[in-house]
Amino acid sequence: MIKAVSGRGAGAAFAIALILSACAPNVKIGAFAFYTPPAATTAREPIEITANTGRQALDIVAKTLRADGARITAKSTRHLTIEGKDTRNDRVACGTITQSAPEGRSTFAANAERAVLFDAGAPGGIKFRLVDVETRFRLTMSRPVNGVSTGALAQTHRVTIRTTTADQRKLLSSQTLTFAPGARATFDDGTVCVSSGQLRKVLAR
Amino acid sequence: MRAFLMVLLAGAPGRTVAADRAETEVWSQAMTSNSPEAYFLYLSRYPTGEFVELAVAALIRLGALGSQVTAPPPAAVAPVVPALPQPVEPVEPVDPY
């Protein structure tokens, strides 16, 4: 009986999710594509590192960040801070683009490093859409209390969206916006980017 | 059963492999066909795909992108024969009167 009720509940939740996704504000991009902005950012996970000393906590987070592809530019064992940057595009979420070209339909993340857009105005009917992301961060660890050090993370994302012709890579448009977590960066082409919280998730694992 | 469904919904690695295989299949068909339509089909289905650069390069090669200036085939160009140097004859002085 309980199973039946939970199954019905799950079905209702699924139906509501479907309706909500259908109601998501879609923006038309050109003749062939629709843009869906990213969902609101999720709750922030606390960064807690098990360590006996602040220095040990710092070494652990530095190792974790490096393993994830980040570059450490400054490290202070005195102030228990780490500064660095990384260029992974998944540090931001920019929604999705659904493209219905004459030959087929596809949906892809709007923060994809490189995508082909079908555009009747572009030479040959296609152009490149290129997204570069640079995230700068500063992490301050606390002195461990009961063997746990907590971290305060500050970060800034710098996102550049460019379009070029497909054949000669001639620049058609370029825009760069810088923003911090909690903010929404809105580009001229309608793309909205927010912090994905991915860097925090890497540290909170 | 629930675990199986969860894996399916979460987009398990197996699903990614299947997606990769489907993309490779469409790309192989495009290469075999070697027509603009086939390459455009690949690009429309996989606009962020692994073979995007190769597909665009193929379209350029086939002259399917509008602004591409295609060189005429070599056979259509008349061969240019370098002019041979003419023998120089000694010039005799001409009497103006």
Q: What is the value of ipTM here, to two decimals? A: 0.78
Cβ–Cβ under 8 Å, residues A72 and A81: no
Interval A153-189: pLDDT, tens: 999 999 999 999 999 899 999 999 999 999 999 999 9
Q: Does A112 touch chain B (CB under 8 A)?
A: yes
Collapse the DSSP code of B82 into the 3-class scheme (helix H, G, I; strand E, B; otherwise coil) and give the result: coil
The CA distance from A104 to the nearest CA of chain B, in Å, is 5
**Amino acid at position A106, single letter:** S
**With an 8 Å Cβ cutoff, are A167 and B43 in contact?**
no
Rounded CA separation A81/A66 (Å): 15
pTM, rounded to two decimals: 0.75
Q: What residues have CB less than 8 Å from B32, skipping those under 6 apart?
A: B38
- What is the predicted pLDDT for the residue at A60? 95
Please tell me which of the candidates A115, A165, A166 has its beta carbon nearest to residue B48: A115
Whether A118 and chain B come into contact, CB under 8 Å, resolves to yes
Q: pLDDT digits over B41-84, tens only?
A: 999 999 999 999 999 999 999 999 875 443 333 333 333 444 44
B59 contacts on A by Cβ (under 8 Å): 124, 126, 166-167
Tokens of B33: 């066909």
B60 and B69 Cβ atoms separated by less than 8 Å: no
Are the C-beta atoms of B43 and A117 separated by less than 8 Å?
no
| Minimum distance, in Å, between the CA of residue A52 and any CA atom of chain B | 37
